[in-house]
Amino acid sequence: MKHFKLITSLTFVLTLLFSVNVTAQKFSDVDKSPMDMASFPADYKNSDKVIKITYSRPQLKDRSIEELAPEGKVWRTGANEAAELTLYKPMKFGDTTIEPGSYTFYVIPGEKEWTAIVSTDLNVWGSYFYNEKNDVARLNVPVTKGKESLEAFSIAFDKTDNGADMYLGWGTVRVAVPFML
C-alpha cells in the first residue's frame, strides 16, 4: 500500500510539473506578413512537384510598392526571410540550366522590367546580406499591369508548353518569370 501511495504521489507531482511547463509556453501572434507557398503543379496532393517557392506576403496597407520594394534595389521577394526556391528537376532559367536543390529567389524591381535572381544564398533575412557572387542566374522580365489590385504580395504558377511561369503580383504590377523543363 505504501508503494501505491508513493507512486500515486510521484505521478501527481510529475503531472503537475509537466502541466505547468506546457501552460507556460508563449506563442507569438500571427505574423503581419504570413508565410505562404506556391508550387507547380499546384495540386497539393501531387507529390511529383517540379518547382516550389516559400515566401512571406507583405500587405500594401496604403503604401506604394516602390516604398516596400524600391526600384533598382535587390528585394527579397516578399517579407521577412528571403524567398526560398526549390527545384525538384533541372530547369532552364534564361540560358542557364539550374540543377535540383534549394536556392534564394531575389528580384530587382524596375519600372518596365524586373531582374529575377536565383542565388545559392540560403537562410538569409531580407536582402541585407545579398552577395552577387552567389548568383546562379539572372533574367530580365517585363512588367505588365493587372486589371485588379492585389493588397497582399502573391505568387502563383501557370503551366506553359515547356515548363511553368512564376507570376509575381502586387497592386496592379504583374511579372511573369519563365522556368523551362
Residue percentage of the chain with pLDDT more than 70: 86
Are the C-beta atoms of residues 32 and 48 closer than 8 Å to each other?
no
Classify residue 79: in a domain, yes or no: yes
**Number of compact structural domains in the chain:** 1
Classify residue 10: in a domain, yes or no: no
Classify residue 25: in a domain, yes or no: no
Classify residue 130: in a domain, yes or no: yes
Classify residue 149: in a domain, yes or no: yes
Q: How far apart are CA 96 and CA 14, in angstroms?
A: 59
Are the C-beta atoms of residues 66 and 25 closer than 8 Å to each other?
no
Classify residue 54: in a domain, yes or no: yes
When pLDDT is averaged across residues 156-163 and rounded to a whole number, the result is 95
Classify residue 66: in a domain, yes or no: yes
The helix (H) or strand (E) run that includes residue 21 is: helix 2-23
pLDDT band at 92 (very low <50, low <70, confident <90, very high): very high
pLDDT band at 17 (very low <50, low <70, confident <90, very high): low
Comparing C-alpha atoms, which of 79, 43, 72 is closest to residue 153? Answer: 79
- In sequence order, what are the residues at sequence separation of 6 or more whose Cβ sits closer than 8 angstroms to the Cβ of residue 52? 37, 38, 39, 40, 85, 86, 88
Look-up: residue for cell 536565383?
A: 118
The answer, yes or no, to whether residue 47 has pLDDT greater than 90, is no
Look-up: residue for cell 508563449?
A: 26
49 φ/ψ sector (left φ>0, alpha ψ -120 to 50, else beta): beta
Classify residue 119: in a domain, yes or no: yes
Are the C-beta atoms of residues 168 and 53 closer than 8 Å to each other?
no
Are the C-beta atoms of residues 162 and 74 closer than 8 Å to each other?
no
pLDDT band at 25 (very low <50, low <70, confident <90, very high): confident
Q: How far apart are CA 123 and CA 134, in angstroms?
A: 13
The alpha-helical segments, DSSP class H, found in 47-140 are 65-68
Host domain of residue 163:
31-180
Looking at residue 8, what is its pLDDT?
Answer: 60
